[in-house]
């Protein structure tokens, strides 16, 4: 069967509640430089981690409707909270592939732990969903999983305080109970947290391996595009990535430029409630 070149050249939709999903977009850019990304950050409604399941599903549906107007060929839910609460619900409604960040992160943690003790940090919603634990146990049923919500990390990252003494103090308080469990692996189960990786590593110490699910998610996406025969061949002029938010576009853009290997020169605001 010949490939539909327009489909192959279509963008990948990536979304998060804010800037956190940029850590996943960054990995996609590194691993698949020929792919075009359409990113949406729901900056008007962040954080998702303290919201109810039904609200997170409603927000996710609206964002997917918006991304569909951009004719995306696949969607990456670059938000653990939305992956935990909405992914399964919306999957059945879509005719394009969609993946989240929880399963890839759980699989890699389960495969690298030596003592079977794995910590997960994330939003209140992600930890309460126990989805990381479910996927880890599918892979290694004897694993012990210790989940701790770290809700203040998201506003601290959105504020840009990634190397701040206040954030260090907060991390010490949140992570102290995990240090007593003997974990050798810790999943950064919120896409904002890789931006605090150095600080979290300093608190946890060298013997704990930090897992950033963004890397494995991008690798899964690459496999999936290949399997469906819809990878971008990278021929012709490269289409620029597009960035959309629901609020504070300028702030988002300066943040994006501080972490992406890409020059973001435009970010547009979308009235996401209309979708
Ligand atoms: N970055 C998101 C996550 O991975 C959500 C943070 C939030 O909106 O609470 O869970």
The parts of the chain modelled with pLDDT lower than 50 are: none
On the CB side of 141, how many CA atoms lie within 13 Å of its CA? 0
User: Domain locations in the chain?
Assistant: 5-101+215-274, 102-213
**In contact, 79 and 191? CB cutoff 8 Å:** yes
Cβ within 8 Å of residue 211, ≥6 positions away? 105, 108, 109, 112, 185, 186, 187, 188
Ligand 1 proximity of 126 Cβ (cutoff 6 Å):
yes
Residue 72 gets which letter from DSSP? -
Ligand 1 proximity of 20 Cβ (cutoff 6 Å):
yes
Considering the four listed CATH numbers 3.40.50.1860, 3.40.630.30, 3.40.50.300, 3.30.2310.20, the one that applies to the domain covering 5-101+215-274 is: 3.40.50.1860
* Residue whose tokens read 């189960």: 189
CA–centroid distance, residue 38 to ligand 1 (Å): 18
Which pLDDT belongs to residue 30?
Answer: 96
Considering the four listed CATH numbers 3.40.630.10, 3.40.50.1860, 2.40.110.10, 3.90.1150.10, the one that applies to the domain covering 102-213 is: 3.40.50.1860
Which pLDDT belongs to residue 114?
Answer: 97
pTM > 0.75: yes or no: yes
**pLDDT tens digits, residue range 71-80?**
999 999 999 9
Whether 5-101+215-274 and 102-213 share one fold: the answer is yes
CA–centroid distance, residue 110 to ligand 1 (Å): 22
Cβ within 8 Å of residue 66, ≥6 positions away? 40, 244, 270, 272, 275
Please identify, by atom number, the ligand 1 atom nearest to the C-alpha of residue 49. 9
Which pLDDT belongs to residue 236?
Answer: 84
């Amino acid at each position: 069967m010949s490939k539909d070149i327009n489909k192959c050249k279509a963008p990948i939709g990536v979304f998060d509640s804010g800037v956190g999903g940029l850590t996943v977009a960054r990995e996609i850019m590194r691993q698949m430089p020929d792919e075009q990304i359409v990113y949406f950050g729901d900056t008007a409604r962040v954080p998702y981690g303290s919201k109810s399941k039904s609200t997170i599903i409603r927000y996710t549906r609206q964002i997917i409707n918006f991304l569909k107007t951009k004719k995306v060929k696949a969607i990456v839910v670059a938000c653990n909270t939305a992956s935990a609460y909405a992914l399964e619900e919306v999957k059945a409604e879509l005719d394009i592939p969609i993946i989240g960040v929880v399963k890839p992160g759980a699989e890699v943690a389960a495969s690298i732990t030596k003592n079977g003790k794995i910590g997960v940090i994330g939003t209140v919603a992600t930890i309460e969903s126990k989805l990381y634990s479910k996927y880890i146990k599918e892979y290694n049923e004897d694993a012990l999983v210790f989940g701790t919500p770290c809700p203040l990390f998201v506003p601290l990252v959105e504020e840009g305080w990634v190397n701040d003494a206040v954030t260090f103090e907060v991390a010490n308080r949140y992570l102290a109970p995990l240090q007593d469990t003997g974990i050798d692996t810790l999943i950064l189960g919120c896409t904002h947290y890789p931006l605090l990786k150095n600080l979290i590593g300093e608190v946890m110490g060298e013997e704990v391996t930090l897992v950033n699910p963004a890397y494995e998610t991008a690798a899964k996406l690459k496999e999936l595009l290949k399997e469906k025969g819809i990878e971008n061949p990278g021929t012709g002029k490269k289409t620029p990535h597009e960035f959309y938010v629901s609020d504070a576009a300028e702030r988002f853009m300066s943040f994006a430029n501080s972490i992406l290997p890409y020059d973001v020169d435009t970010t547009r605001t979308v009235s996401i409630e209309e979708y």
